[in-house]
Structure 1
């Protein structure tokens, strides 16, 4: 599943949301593996040309299968033919992946679609970590709001905290967060 519309247009649109202080420092990359059966690869966010967050389809799907198998082993009785049970297990396992901020390239594309359609206020309370990461770099997020949300960031995954601290640093805001 390659991204549609064109990634170049989506990237341009995404970069237009970046705050001025991060424009030259943050970039987004899509790396597709030609020999992968589905043509997918990973989506990467770089800061100062260093890879900070990678959303790799292959790693995510292997984690999904491993965690599903571990879950099934705990259950002792399971029926591979039962589609409802399998779907329920997959949903549980996928939630653990989201909690651990393990995402695939297609998750990044889905998050982009969601992010482009949301106001900054709604995006800030999204349950999607990728959307929250994008919010932390968004020009629509002002200094007062950054200060106001600091307490809520304490409960977030370390990658969201990283981008929050990055934004505070470039805006000259003293953050009390420790990652």
Structure 2
């Protein structure tokens, strides 16, 4: 495993500053590693909405399972960081069509996404994206489509 390119606190601040203003205090990125495990690579990361975990990246679970769970492909902590670094260097158009649910979900709450884009979104996959879409639409005063 390669080391993270950007310091976690800087990466976290950079990503969270892109969230729409109304969600900057409600959506939080979290990451920790387990000192006792003997490896800085072991740990977990998460996305929290109103202090409730809605997305998890857990190295131990990933090592044990390496399979699909709860509509999410379980990823490990380093992958979480790598995806956030990718997020910080892409245009909003690229983020919205990413193959990674984490990136597409965070793009939904990005301040660069306007009402028209939100209204035109169709069929969101995964609970993570649906939760973020719902909260963003509530903030923007957009009626949520039954098909999403």
| TM-score normalised by the chain length of structure 1 | 0.74
Q: Does 1:164 align with 2:136?
A: no
CA, structure 1 residues 125+14, in 2 after alignment: closer, same or farther (shift >3 Å)? same
Please give the TM-score of this superposition, normalised by the length of structure 2.
0.88
Per the alignment, residue 57 of structure 1 pairs with 59
Determine helix, strand or coil for the equivalent of 1:35: helix
Deviation for aligned residue 1:19: 0.3
- Structure 2: runs of 5+ lacking an equivalent: none
Distance 1:177 1:33 in 2: 42
Matching residue within 42, 45, 48 for 2:47: 45
Q: Counterparts in 2 of 1:122-137, with a 5 A limit? A: 122-137=94-109
In the alignment, the residues of structure 2 paired with residue 47 and residue 167 of structure 1 have an alpha-carbon distance, to the nearest angstrom, of 12
The aligned length equals 146
The alignment status of 1:108 with 2:80, answered yes or no, reads yes
* Structure with more strand by fraction: 2
| Structure 1 residue ranges (4+ consecutive) displaced by more than 4 angstroms after TM superposition | none
Give the match for residue 174 of structure 1. Answer: 143
Flag the structure with larger Rg: 1
Check if 1:9 corresponds to 2:5: no
Residues 60-99 of structure 1 deviation map (CA, whole Å, 9 limit, x = unaligned): 11112xx6xxxxxxxxxxxxxxxxxxxxxxxxxxxx57x6
SS state of the match for residue 3, structure 1?
coil
User: Which stretches in structure 1 are left out of the alignment for 5+ residues?
Assistant: 68-95
Query: Does the CA-based 8 Å contact 1:45-1:51 persist in structure 2?
Result: yes
